[in-house]
Structure 1
Amino acid sequence: MEQDSKGQAKGALMKSLDNALTLLEQFTPEAPAFGITELATRLGLNKATVFNMLKTLEAHSLVEQLSDTKKYTLGHGIIVLAGTKLAQSELSHVARPHLARLSHETNETTHLAILHRNELLYLEKIESSQPVRVAARIGGRAPLHCTANGKVLLAFQPNEVIEEALRAPRARYTENTIVDPAVLRSQLAEIRQAGYCIEREEFIADIRGIAAPVFDFNGTVIAAIAVVGPSARITEGQIEALVPLTLRTAESISRSLGHKPYKDA
């Protein structure tokens, strides 16, 4: 069956619902508001159709119209839905105290992320108390090929998923970003073998991270945690100390989710 760009069978999609959801996906922190003409251009739809979709979404508080510019932005209904999902998330609930302890021990920011389509999605964060720190937004996304969390998540995927990711275009964010598929493939194998990833200024200049996988009770990697901070603090000597702390935290979260390492089985 023919598939769309998101890998979904076209016959299984309701076109009007798919268009409305695609409309909602246009809103980002960088582009929080749009007019009808802008959305129609982005979606390739006529303005009357976009207008009707917006009015329907507005009736459910999923979008709202700004009084000054008459543009549309996400509505409070999105917050209600997101809050319900977060409240249901056992993973975030279980991981948070472990991330808090790791952040306290390292005095750096800690993240929990999952794989979402072809990116990573931040589910939880504990920010460092230091004046200079790495900030991340819960619900924010980042690339897989140049982040510590992302590489861990990708490394433990089936081979066909890895190869599909390596065939996709990869942006170069810093001079340290690895875009060569052969080099990435080798690095992912090393991460699987070691059980953790060290990322050195590949996504953001002067920022480093250490990440490790989180397993569920079936032994499947369902998330990754990371410690991230400025390179001035996360020195090569500090990395040596952070790796075992990160691994211990990931293992503690995994155990809380019912995972038993092979040595315990």
Structure 2
Amino acid sequence: MDQPAQRPPKSVLGRAFTLLTAFRPGDAELSLAELCRRTGLAKGTAHRLLAELATWDVVERTPTGLRLGMRLFELGQLAPRQRGLREAAAPFLADLFEATHETVHLAILDPGSDSHAVPEVVYLNKLDATSGPKVPSRIGGRMPMYCTGVGKAMLAFAPREVLEQVLAAGLARRTPRTVVAPGLLDRELARVRQHGVAEEHEESTVGIACVAAPVLDAAGRPMAAISITGWANRLDTARFAPAVRTAALGLSRTLRGTLR
């Protein structure tokens, strides 16, 4: 079980954001007591902040607790870069899905808000294969960069300091096949730069394989990545690599000069 949060932010805005980010995947709603436990906020403070957030429809009260409000969803749809990227990528993802009948992802790199943050993958879109494995990704969800196909595809072309931040945070072993040696990861990223595609073979989740390609801007920096994911014992990553690379190159050409 998670331990209660320590030292909540001092600012009102920081405390309000701490309450919102206490919600995790699968949390349909949370009680006031659980929100206080996760954030470290006093009950009275949390109650006052949640009441204010509720007036803006950022949170909603239920008979048994609180849940995130529709206003958050509406604001998320207004984020111009992500919305433009999703719209531009939609036909490429649809074509890739139709051609492969495997789960298709679109992801971006989130470097974090400060120098101590660990860069992560954030999924912007996902087309689920009906016959594929249950992939533990979700739209808006996060995963590590070093053990995911989309993460390695972007990490290979990101500035060196991004890799240094990932290595400084440590390479946790998520499965028996996770690459946790910095030197091995560095060599793998060099191969990604050489071939233009990244592969994952049961490194983030047992039973799952993935092939991904980066979406690059005119300077060769990663804007996003596209991947195909399926059963590790069935997905032929070498066979699907040209398709995912073609989709990523097509999206790269579409996006260049259109995103700011």
TM-score, reference length from structure 1: 0.84
For 2:131, the aligned partner's letter is P
Q: Is the 8 A contact 2:158 2:221 kept in 1?
A: no
| 3-state DSSP of counterpart to 1:38 | helix
The change in CA–CA distance for 1:219 and 1:178 in structure 2 (over 3 A counts) is closer
Equivalent-residue separation in structure 2 for 1:158 and 1:251 (angstroms): 20
2:41 maps to 45
| 3-state DSSP of counterpart to 2:38 | helix
Query: CA shift at 1:219, angstroms?
Result: 3.3
The change in CA–CA distance for 1:74 and 1:166 in structure 2 (over 3 A counts) is same
Further displaced range: 182-191 or 108-117: 182-191
Q: Per-residue CA shift, 1:31-79, capped at 9, x if unaligned? A: 3432223222322222111111100111111111221x2x211112222
Equivalent-residue separation in structure 1 for 2:82 and 2:198 (angstroms): 29
Matched residues, number? 241
2:98 maps to 104
Query: CA shift at 1:101, angstroms?
Result: 0.5
2:256 maps to 258
1:241 maps to 239
TM-score, reference length from structure 2: 0.85
Q: Which runs of 5+ in 1 are unaligned?
A: 1-12, 260-265
Q: Per-residue CA shift, 1:155-205, capped at 9, x if unaligned? A: 221111211111103332211111122221222222222211011011111
Q: Per-residue CA shift, 1:79-114, capped at 9, x if unaligned? A: 222233379721111111101111111111111100
2:85 maps to 91
Q: Is the 8 A contact 2:133 2:208 kept in 1?
A: no
The change in CA–CA distance for 1:191 and 1:104 in structure 2 (over 3 A counts) is same
The change in CA–CA distance for 1:195 and 1:132 in structure 2 (over 3 A counts) is closer
| 3-state DSSP of counterpart to 2:108 | strand
For 2:21, the aligned partner's letter is E
Further displaced range: 30-39 or 247-256: 30-39
For 2:202, the aligned partner's letter is E
For 2:18, the aligned partner's letter is T
Q: Is the 8 A contact 1:102 1:245 kept in 2?
A: yes
1:30 maps to 26
* Residue 75 of structure 2 corresponds to residue 81 of structure 1: yes
Equivalent-residue separation in structure 2 for 1:205 and 1:74 (angstroms): 32
* Residue 114 of structure 2 corresponds to residue 114 of structure 1: no
Q: Is the 8 A contact 2:96 2:104 kept in 1?
A: yes
Q: Which runs of 5+ in 2 are unaligned?
A: 1-8, 113-118
Equivalent-residue separation in structure 2 for 1:22 and 1:206 (angstroms): 35
Further displaced range: 99-108 or 72-81: 72-81
Q: Is the 8 A contact 1:36 1:47 kept in 2?
A: yes
The change in CA–CA distance for 1:258 and 1:189 in structure 2 (over 3 A counts) is same
* Identity value in percent: 38
Equivalent-residue separation in structure 2 for 1:189 and 1:132 (angstroms): 30
| 3-state DSSP of counterpart to 1:173 | coil
2:115 maps to none
For 1:126, the aligned partner's letter is L
Equivalent-residue separation in structure 1 for 2:139 and 2:75 (angstroms): 14
1:62 maps to 58
| 3-state DSSP of counterpart to 1:162 | helix
Equivalent-residue separation in structure 2 for 1:161 and 1:88 (angstroms): 20
Equivalent-residue separation in structure 2 for 1:92 and 1:169 (angstroms): 31
Equivalent-residue separation in structure 1 for 2:131 and 2:219 (angstroms): 40
For 2:77, the aligned partner's letter is G
1:18 maps to 14
Q: Is the 8 A contact 1:144 1:151 kept in 2?
A: yes
2:214 maps to 213
Equivalent-residue separation in structure 2 for 1:208 and 1:243 (angstroms): 12
The change in CA–CA distance for 1:173 and 1:212 in structure 2 (over 3 A counts) is same
1:226 maps to 227
